[in-house]
Amino acid sequence: MDAHSALERTITKVLSQAENEMISQIDSAYEQAVTNLQSSRNAVEADYNRIIDGAKKQAENLKRQIVGSSRLSARNKQLVLIENAVNNAFEKAIGKIDSVRNSEKYASMMKKLLEDGLNAVGGEVVVECNDKDKAIVKKLVSEMGRRIDVKIKVSEEAIVCLGGLRVKSKDGSMVYDNTLDSRIERLKPLIKKDIANIFMK
């Protein structure tokens, strides 16, 4: 009976130790699993955050590109509108040249253009103009020739231009182009720039 009891105690003790060892291993495995799970969760969260941050950056870059492209497109459209408006304004002004050609204002302008040309070239000069302005240019040259000590000759050959004149040195080495055509071409970029500065601020 004692041997049987001793055997039972021994079996119970061995089973208890095995149970405790198994429970300890299970606890350790559980803790390891929880640690691994937490570590994996942290890694997954870090990957998730990286993916979200990357997506946000891509979205922001795309937004900037779209906004930049839209602004560029709008700016280009504005520049085309400005170009067309300036060209239309000049076309209307050009259309009115013939109607003002015989006015005092036109004569005064031609005098100023001639004076500018004479000052720029100096010496003996040849003045060129179109057929429509020849009479007024000859009259101005005649008046100026009496007042200033410069030899001025009006070319008999007409040049193709809207109006205004061209002053050349006698040998042709210096030319001062004061035709309306050249003045318009010089003015266009300045006017476009001024309009662009007003509308694109």
Instruction: Identify the pLDDT of residue 90.
Output: 72
SS3 179: strand
Distance of CA 101 to the CA centre of its chain: 40
Instruction: Identify the pLDDT of residue 71.
Output: 82
Instruction: Identify the pLDDT of residue 57.
Output: 87
Under a CB-based contact definition with an 8 Å cutoff, are residues 190 and 128 in contact?
no
Instruction: Identify the pLDDT of residue 201.
Output: 59
Instruction: Identify the pLDDT of residue 9.
Output: 76
Helix boundaries (H) for the chain: 2-95, 97-100, 104-121, 134-147, 180-199
Residues forming beta bridges with residue 128, ordered by sequence position: 166
Q: Are strands 152-154 and 164-169 parallel, antiparallel or unpaired?
A: unpaired
Q: Rounded to whole angstroms, how far apart are CA atoms 155 and 60?
A: 67
CATH code of domain 100-196: 3.30.2320.30
Predicted TM-score of the model (pTM): 0.57
Instruction: Identify the pLDDT of residue 200.
Output: 64
Q: Which two tokens stand for residue 112?
A: 């100023």
Per-residue pLDDT of the chain (201 residues; tens, 9 = 90+): 566 677 677 777 766 776 777 777 776 767 776 787 777 778 777 878 888 888 788 888 888 888 878 888 887 887 788 778 777 877 887 788 888 888 999 999 999 999 999 989 988 999 999 999 999 999 999 888 777 777 899 999 999 999 999 999 989 899 999 999 998 888 888 877 877 777 665
Domain boundaries, the chain: 1-95, 100-196
CA angle 125/148/146 to nearest 5° reads 100
Instruction: Give the phi and the psi of residue 200 in degrees, each rounded to 5.
Output: -110, 20
